[in-house]
């Protein structure tokens, strides 16, 4: 008699009995085997005994939280695909979930079709998944000191948070693009805070705000007497930032000659102070942002193509608020809570567009 393939096994960890019951009904009806646990602690035991293919994990539970359970579960059964479910969507939870190796993140309430399709995607991915996230230990970062302060519960912003979680711990250069006021600076800071370099320096440089003749000295430093006004030696941002992260904001405004030097710093990890022929080794992770159309600039040869490819290793494109109107109430809330605290209503650009 032919044997049918084994049914995929799902573990549902949630303290909400009703939700466990509905998930069990849906998945059992679709040829899945379902096992359950009503707490994180219990979930770890069941995961060890049952070796589920997919784990649907609630975040807010009495006792161990989903994020905590997630970290243990990855050790107990690295091959299980974990989907975090939570009613309390915060930026940081999404970032943490992805960083600790969750396959995906779903916000409650969700419709059952959605959770079925995510689960199917998780099963499909489990066959050929390369677990880059296994290198991520999440050392040195505690939940309290990392709050990106980025607001957004729209699907588009959730995708951005997922990307932050996925790239933060790598050494990849990230290019953040989006219209003015979409929060590019906040994203850069959040990547840094969630990275393995979070206890090293972070320096943000606004390339548009520094006059062209001073930017190289600002970035790479200079020797005494190297140009009129250089009365002392100066250490540049790249040297100061050694071991850390440098955020080149408004990179689209950088002159071509400076771009060449940035390229060298990226490719060779080398810089020279202005007026010096000595090469200095630097180890700096670069993040960059711009609201300029870089691709067009490459076409017009006002932005170096080779630098573009070096910087654009990971691209985070921020959606403008008009494409994620769901976030408006949250942002209004955020602005008015600032008003209650300070008596000042600060109208940041995102509220005006
Ligand atoms: N999603 C968000 N949550 C909270 N604050 C936000 C969000 N998006 C933007 N802001 C706030 O709006 C303001 C403008 O954002 P920011 O300066 O980062 O924009 P930008 O993308 O760098 O724009 P530009 O291209 O003009 O430099 C800041 O005060 C920032 O904190
Ligand atoms: Mg900016």
The pLDDT of residue 41 is 96
Instruction: Report the separation in Å between the CA atom of 253 and the middle of ligand 2, taken as the mean of its atom positions.
Output: 12
Query: Residue 337: CB within 6 Å of ligand 1?
Result: no
Q: What is the pLDDT of residues 179-204, one digit of tens each?
A: 998 999 999 999 998 899 988 889 99
Residue 2 above 70 pLDDT?
A: no
Relative to the CA of 150, which ligand 1 atom is closest? 3
Query: Residue 180: CB within 6 Å of ligand 1?
Result: yes
The pLDDT of residue 127 is 55
Query: Residue 183: CB within 6 Å of ligand 1?
Result: yes
Say which residues have a Cβ less than 8 Å from residue 209's Cβ, sequence separation at least 6. 250
**What is the Cα–Cα distance from 108 to 86, expressed in whole angstroms?**
5
> What average pLDDT does the segment 33-43 reach?
96
Q: What is the pLDDT of residues 279-290, one digit of tens each?
A: 999 999 999 999
Query: Residue 349: CB within 6 Å of ligand 1?
Result: yes
Relative to the CA of 179, which ligand 1 atom is closest? 25
Both structure tokens of 93: 């939870």
Among protein residues, the one with the nearest Cα to ligand 1's atom 27 is 180
Query: Residue 68: CB within 6 Å of ligand 1?
Result: no
User: 89: burial class by Cβ within 10 Å (0-12, 13-18, 19+)?
Assistant: middle
Is 262:250 a contact under the CB 8 Å cutoff? no
Q: What is the pLDDT of residues 295-349, one digit of tens each?
A: 999 999 999 999 999 999 999 999 988 888 888 887 777 777 655 555 544 444 4
Query: Residue 291: CB within 6 Å of ligand 1?
Result: yes
Is 80:53 a contact under the CB 8 Å cutoff? yes
Query: Residue 184: CB within 6 Å of ligand 1?
Result: yes
β-strand pairing of 202-206 with 33-37: unpaired
**What is the Cα–Cα distance from 227 to 242, expressed in whole angstroms?**
25
Q: 95 falls in which pLDDT band (50, 70, 90)?
A: confident
342-350 long-range Cβ contacts below 8 angstroms, 24+ apart:
348/181, 349/180, 349/181, 350/181, 350/182, 350/183, 350/321
Instruction: Report the separation in Å between the CA atom of 211 and the middle of ligand 2, taken as the mean of its atom positions.
Output: 17
Say which residues have a Cβ less than 8 Å from residue 63's Cβ, sequence separation at least 6. 39, 40, 41
Instruction: Report the separation in Å between the CA atom of 186 and the middle of ligand 1, taken as the mean of its atom positions.
Output: 7
Ligand of minimum distance to the alpha carbon of 252? 1
**What is the Cα–Cα distance from 164 to 20, expressed in whole angstroms?**
30
63-68 long-range Cβ contacts below 8 angstroms, 24+ apart:
63/39, 64/39, 64/40, 65/40, 66/13, 66/40, 66/97, 67/93, 67/96, 67/97, 67/100, 67/143, 68/40
pTM: 0.68
| Residue 76: count of CB within 10 angstroms of its CB | 14
Share the mean pLDDT of the chain. 83
Both structure tokens of 65: 């939280």
| Residue 351: count of CB within 10 angstroms of its CB | 15
Relative to the CA of 182, which ligand 1 atom is closest? 21
The pLDDT of residue 339 is 56
């Amino acid at each position: 008699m032919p044997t049918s393939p084994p049914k995929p096994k799902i573990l549902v960890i949630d303290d909400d009995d009703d939700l466990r019951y509905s998930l069990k009904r849906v998945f059992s009806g679709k040829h899945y085997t379902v096992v359950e646990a009503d707490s994180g602690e219990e979930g770890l035991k069941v995961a060890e005994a049952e070796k589920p293919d997919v784990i649907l994990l609630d975040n807010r539970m009495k006792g161990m939280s989903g994020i905590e359970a997630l970290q243990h579960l990855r050790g107990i059964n690295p091959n299980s695909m974990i989907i975090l479910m939570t009613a309390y969507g915060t930026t940081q939870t999404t970032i943490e979930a992805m960083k600790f190796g969750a396959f995906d993140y779903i916000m409650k309430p969700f419709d059952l079709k959605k959770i079925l399709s995510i689960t199917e995607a998780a099963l499909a991915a489990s066959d050929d998944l390369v677990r880059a996230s296994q290198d991520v230990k999440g050392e040195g970062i505690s939940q309290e000191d990392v709050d990106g302060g980025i607001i957004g519960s729209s699907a588009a912003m959730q995708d951005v948070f997922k990307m932050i979680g996925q790239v933060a711990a790598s050494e990849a250069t990230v290019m953040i693009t989006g219209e003015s006021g979409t929060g590019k600076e906040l994203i850069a800071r959040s990547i840094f805070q969630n990275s393995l370099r979070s206890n090293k320096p972070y320096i943000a440089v606004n390339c548009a705000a520094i006059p062209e003749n001073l930017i190289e000295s600002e970035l790479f430093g200079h020797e005494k007497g190297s140009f009129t006004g250089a009365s002392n030696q100066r250490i540049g941002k790249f040297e100061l930032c050694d071991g850390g992260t440098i955020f080149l904001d408004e990179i689209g405004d950088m002159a071509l000659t400076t771009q060449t030097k940035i390229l060298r710093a990226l490719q060779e990890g080398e810089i020279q102070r202005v007026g010096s022929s000595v090469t200095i080794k630097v180890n700096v992770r670069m993040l960059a942002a711009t609201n300029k159309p870089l691709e067009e600039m490459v076409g017009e040869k006002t932005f170096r193509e080779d630098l573009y490819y070096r910087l654009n290793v990971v691209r985070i494109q921020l959606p403008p608020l008009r494409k994620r109107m769901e976030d408006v109430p949250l942002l209004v809330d955020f602005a008015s809570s600032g008003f209650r605290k300070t008596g000042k209503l600060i109208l940041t650009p995102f509220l005006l567009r």
